[in-house]
Structure 1
């Protein structure tokens, strides 16, 4: 049955907008991975132009008319189809209403500024000097506050930015959740063992790259639809159907940094790949549901899979071969203990799975106060260092290992950080349910490196849902109960016990 013409008209315009958003993703990816340094300023103008153009298309009154006509025409369709179409148009109208609140010139300014900010942040980090970036960050904070004002809020400005990443989330609710989680984490951190780096020698980037290039396809993301590159900060992005990009960074003294960067970003790309396999892609229902759900996919593959005994039983001989290390030089148990070691560290992306959430809580508290006007940009290094001392007992030696370590604020992504911990909570709960349904999955993991059952479960219960249901209903339908941090706590407690008794 052919779709009514108004629906076809609306879909055509939507897909043009989506196409140019993917073009913008190509420009962003290139600017982080391959673009010559001198191209930064002009590239920022290109990105700003595309952002302004797509925003104008989204906010155009003719597009609103197309949506309204489409909504009227779906009354002709059978009820099951009508329900889905109503949901699709509802999601789109929410996005459009949010876009309508932002002037096009603001969108262009924000896109240009964040692209310029990246290079300045990278230079400031290289020089370990926050002052080289503080003025630009001040501009980004002011623009983000203005964005919050445009969106509107009832309690605090930070809520408006948080909602951009996790719909309907509120800072006071996140604060309560994180406070309870922190209380549970403290005794786990205190009891968790620390193990020394077992690598007997530096591992070249070439050898690490060989090993890391294997990982996406082993998890289920083939080289035909993805590629792995290097960047200052690991990230993944979707450039369209069949084109997922992953980056990592390398440390010759600790190759686990690159390995877990790839595992994390592959999780993101597997989710995007699953979304693009939904019927009638692209449409508003085939977008990711929330960043918390997105992060649940990356954190699940990174931690529940990537730090598991079955995973390393399979990968260990491959690693020895690629790294050209003997078993006597790198005994399995020493490697596995180190993979699951718990140690307070200054750097978030190098943090173990137990202390990681403490890093997120620290950032959440700082950026919330920053957006709400309780602290100033110029005071960030001092505030950051003080909180690191309070939460971790660590002394920050320079800005690169402190306030400048993350890319999120240069991206203008205030409100993003809490989604990592939400993702940890969702991911642990999803994995627990998967293991209940596939109790022998660990055998396929360790014997064959076969993760197809897990990927199929995620495709069915998470990826194929897109935005069809709410966050709450997605978790409820996938696991049989509402989101609950008890599974994350249980997983971490079990992991600490496992490595503590491993001989």
Structure 2
């Protein structure tokens, strides 16, 4: 059915904006995967120019008029479609209101600063020297505070930045949730067993690549629509309807790191692929619901699937073949215990599924105080090291394994970290509902490497909803309960007990 003219005009504006956002994403992907080191300065200018241009279009009189005309035209839409269009226009107007509060030159400055900051951060991390990155981080913090002031807030500046990743979330509410979660996590960490790596010798990167390349299509992500590459920090991005990019990183001494990197990022891209299947694509309704929901998809495939016995019973013989190892070289029980071991690590991306949440709580507490002006940039190394000692009982030896380990602050990603633990909470709740509906899924995983039942369930309950629902509505719809952390706690306790019982 043809759309009313006013709605079609609005959609044309929106699609042009979306197209150039994807072009900027392509430039960013290239800068992490393919671009030579010395290309970063000019690349940051290119990305800033496109970001500023997109912002200008987003607040232009023509675009605002097209939205207003489309809103008027909605009344002529049939009743069964009217609700979706009302939701779409609501989302567009919400984003427009925020964008109008940010001057074009500010948007360009923030984009260029964060793109330049990546190279400074990477060099500082290489040299294990936070003081080399501190001046750039101070500039990013001040720009982030200015962003919060420009948009405006009722409670605290950090809420504005948090809202950019988890719509409607409040730092005070997350703080309360995390404090309760921390109380539950500490005794689990104390009692959970720890096992050494089962790999007696390094595993060549080319052998790891052979296994890792099998994983995306195994889970349902075809190479007709995705690429797997290598980057300094694993990530995934969407460049178009049928163009999903994922990366991982390799360590000869820790081959599990690359595997779980691929599982995690494939989860993200499976979600994006599901969104691309929505009839309305591309539109505000076909964007991801929140980063917490996005993270739930990656953590579900990484943990609930990737750390399950049934998954490894299927993949184990394939790993032995690809790594050119025997069962004596790599006993199954040793491997499975290691995969689910609780090892206190100073590095977030190497953390096990139990202690990982303590890493996130630590970062949330620090960045919230930083944006709210309670601490300064130069306080970060000492404060970071003290919290690692308090929460994990570990001593940080240098800035690279401490405050410089994550890329997020160089990207201006304040408010991003809490979504990781929210994702863990959502993933456990979602997977519990899937288990109730598909009692025989373990046999499908183990015997055939068939994960289609899970993917189809997620397509129906999560992916196909896009942003037609907010976070609470989405979780309620899929699980028949409000979001809560009891399923995460239950999952972690059961996993610790399961591994303890393995002889």
User: TM-score, length-normalised on structure 2?
Assistant: 0.99
Q: Secondary structure at the match of 1:247?
A: strand
Quote the Cα distance in structure 2 between the aligned partners of 1:435 and 1:386: 40
Question: How far 1:155 sits from its partner (Å)?
Answer: 1.1
What CA RMSD, in Å, does the superposition of the two structures yield over aligned residues?
0.6
Q: Secondary structure at the match of 1:27?
A: helix
Q: Is 1:499 matched with 2:484? A: no
Please give the residue correspondences for 1:421-436 in structure 2 after superposition, counting only pairs within 5 Å: 421-436=421-436
Residue 267 of structure 2: aligned partner: 267
Residue 67 of structure 2: aligned partner: 67
Please give the residue correspondences for 1:271-310 in structure 2 after superposition, counting only pairs within 5 Å: 271-310=271-310
Question: How far 1:280 sits from its partner (Å)?
Answer: 2.4
Q: Secondary structure at the match of 1:409?
A: helix
Residue 115 of structure 1: aligned partner: 115
Q: Secondary structure at the match of 2:228?
A: strand
Please give the residue correspondences for 1:19-98 in structure 2 after superposition, counting only pairs within 5 Å: 19-98=19-98
Residue 408 of structure 1: aligned partner: 408
What residue ranges of structure 1 are gaps of 5+ in the alignment?
A: none
Question: How far 1:470 sits from its partner (Å)?
Answer: 1.1
Quote the Cα distance in structure 1 between the aligned partners of 2:436 and 2:280: 32
Residue 144 of structure 1: aligned partner: 144
Please give the residue correspondences for 1:341-360 in structure 2 after superposition, counting only pairs within 5 Å: 341-360=341-360
Residue deviations 1:326-380 (CA, integer Å, cap 9, x gap): 1101000000000000011100000000100000000000000000001110111
Q: Secondary structure at the match of 2:241?
A: coil
Quote the Cα distance in structure 2 between the aligned partners of 1:343 and 1:106: 43
Question: How far 1:401 sits from its partner (Å)?
Answer: 0.2
Quote the Cα distance in structure 1 between the aligned partners of 2:324 and 2:145: 52
Quote the Cα distance in structure 2 between the aligned partners of 1:116 and 1:462: 36
Quote the Cα distance in structure 2 between the aligned partners of 1:499 and 1:199: 18
Q: Secondary structure at the match of 2:411?
A: coil
Quote the Cα distance in structure 2 between the aligned partners of 1:174 and 1:193: 29
Please give the residue correspondences for 1:121-200 in structure 2 after superposition, counting only pairs within 5 Å: 121-200=121-200
Q: Is 1:103 matched with 2:103? A: yes
Residue 471 of structure 1: aligned partner: 471
Please give the residue correspondences for 1:347-386 in structure 2 after superposition, counting only pairs within 5 Å: 347-386=347-386
Aligned residue-pair number = 503
Residue deviations 1:219-240 (CA, integer Å, cap 9, x gap): 1001111111111111000011
Q: Is 1:461 matched with 2:461? A: yes
Q: Secondary structure at the match of 2:229?
A: strand
Q: Secondary structure at the match of 2:410?
A: coil
Quote the Cα distance in structure 2 between the aligned partners of 1:2 and 1:194: 61
Question: How far 1:61 sits from its partner (Å)?
Answer: 1.4
User: TM-score, length-normalised on structure 1?
Assistant: 0.99
Q: Secondary structure at the match of 2:326?
A: coil
